[in-house]
Chain A
Amino acid sequence: MTALREPLIFEVSGEGKRGFLLPKLDVPVKEDVLKNIPLREEIRGFPEVSEVEVVRHFTRLSQTNYCIDLGFYPLGSCTMKYNPKINEKIALTKELLLSHPYSSEELVQGNLEILKNTEELLKNITGMDAFTLQPSAGAQGELVGMMLIRSCLEERGDPRKIVLIPDSAHGTNPSSAHICGYRVQEIKSNERGTVDLADLEKNMSEDVAALMVTNPNTLGVFESDIKKISAIVHAKGGFVYMDGANMNALIGKSKPGDMDVDVIHLNLHKTFSTPHGGGGPGAGPVGVEKELEPFLPVPIIQKVKGHYRLVIDRPKSIGRVRSFYGNFLVIVKALAYILSLGPEGLREISETAVLNSNYIRKSLEVEFHLKYKSPTLHECVFSDKHQRSYGVQNIDIAKRLIDYGVHPPTMSFPLIVPGALMVEPTETESKRDLDTFIDAMKQIAREAKENPDILKSAPHNAYVKRLDETAAARNPILRWSRENRKE
Chain B
Amino acid sequence: MSYISLSKKDRKEMLAKIGVSSVDDLFRSIPENLTMKDALEVPHAMTEPELNQHFMALAQRNSYHTFLSFLGAGAYSHMIPAVVDYLSSRGEFISPYTPYQPEVSQGTLQIIYEFQTLICQLTGVDIANASLYDGASGAAEAVLMAHRIKAKPKVLVAKTLHPQYREAIETYSKNLEFSVVDIAYSQTGETDLEDLKKKLDEEISAIVVQSPNFFGVIEKIREISGLAHDHQTLSIVVITEPVSLGILESPGELSADIITGEGQSFGLPLSFGGPFLGFMACKRELIRQFPGRIAGETRDVDGKRGFVLTLSTREQHIRRERATSNICTNQAWCALRATIFLETLGKKGLKELAWQNLQKAHYTVDRITKLKGVRRKFDGAFFNEFVLEFEKPWEDINKFLKDKGIIGGFPLEKVFPELVNCALLCVTELHKREDIDKLVMLLKEDSR
Contact = CB atoms under 8 A, between A and B. Distances in A.
A19 interface: yes
Interface in A24-58: 25-30, 33-40, 42-49, 51, 54-55, 57-58
Given A46-B121, A46-B350, A330-B275, A323 B270 contact: no
B285 interface: no
B276 A358 contact: no
Contacts of A102: 71, 73-75, 410
Interface in B160-202: 162, 164-165, 167-168, 170-172, 174-176
Contacts of A481: 117
Contact of B81 (A19, A359, A430): A19
A457 B349 contact: no
B218 interface: yes
Contacts of A342: 42-46
B54 A48 contact: no
B14 A359 contact: yes
B409 to A, nearest CB: 9
B27 A277 contact: no
Interface in B388-439: 407, 410, 429, 432-433, 436
B294 interface: yes
Contacts of A130: none
A94 B121 contact: no
Contacts of A473: 296, 310-313
A468 interface: yes
A174 B101 contact: no
A297 to B, nearest CB: 8
A108 interface: yes
A55 B87 contact: yes
Interface string A1-30: 000011011100100111111100111111
B345 to A, nearest CB: 5
Contacts of B352: 22
Contacts of B96: 65-68, 276-278
Considering the complex of A and B, which 3 residue pairs feature the smallest CB-CB distances, nearest first?
A324-B273, A342-B45, A277-B333
Contact of A48 (B28, B106, B348): B348
A96 B58 CA distance: 9
B349 A18 contact: yes
Interface string B134-150: 11110010001000000
Chief secondary structure at chain A's binding surface: loop
A46 B433 contact: no
A187 interface: no
Interface in A216-232: 221-222, 224, 226-227
Interface string B88-108: 011111111111111111111
B17 A363 contact: yes
Interface string B266-285: 00011111111000000000
Given A49-B343, A181-B175, A75 B97 contact: yes
A253 B436 CA distance: 57
Given A20-B81, A46-B347, A47-B347, A327 B275 contact: yes
B34 to A, nearest CB: 5
Interface stretch (B151-159, B226-234, B353-361, B371-379): B353-361
Interface string B1-37: 1111111001101110111100100111111011110
Contact of B172 (A63, A321, A433): A321
A330 B172 CA distance: 23
B336 interface: yes
Contacts of B269: 97-98
A147 B101 contact: no
Contacts, number: 670
Given A54-B87, A184-B320, 16 more contacts: A8-B117, A9-B343, A26-B432, A49-B343, A62-B87, A95-B65, A96-B62, A108-B64, A111-B62, A227-B31, A280-B331, A321-B137, A375-B29, A399-B103, A478-B113, A480-B114
A314 interface: no
Contact of A62 (B19, B46, B92, B293): B92
A340 B51 contact: yes
Nearest to A34: B381
Given A103-B64, A171-B317, A336 B51 contact: yes
B3 to A, nearest CB: 5
Given A140-B133, A179-B144, A465-B300, A224 B74 contact: no
Interface in A285-342: 297, 318-330, 332, 336, 338-342
A329 B348 CA distance: 32
A239 B325 CA distance: 23
A136 B137 contact: yes
B235 interface: no
The size bracket of the interface on A is: 35 or more
Contacts of B336: 277-278
Interface in A154-201: 159, 170-172, 174-181, 184
B445 interface: no
A136 to B, nearest CB: 4
30 contacts: A16-B348, A17-B346, A20-B346, A26-B433, A29-B359, A46-B346, A54-B343, A58-B87, A67-B95, A110-B60, A137-B328, A142-B326, A258-B34, A280-B330, A281-B334, A320-B168, A322-B133, A323-B262, A328-B271, A329-B271, A340-B51, A342-B45, A355-B15, A363-B17, A402-B101, A413-B317, A427-B4, A428-B4, A467-B299, A478-B116
B68 interface: no
A342 B1 CA distance: 8
A413 B317 CA distance: 8
A98 to B, nearest CB: 4
Nearest to A472: B298
B329 A336 contact: no
A47 B113 CA distance: 14
Contact of B92 (A70, A93, A338): A70
A276 B97 contact: yes
Contacts of B247: 34, 39-40
B113 to A, nearest CB: 7
B358 to A, nearest CB: 6
A449 interface: no
Contacts of A264: none
A117 B124 CA distance: 44
A61 B106 contact: yes
Nearest to B245: A43
A189 to B, nearest CB: 15
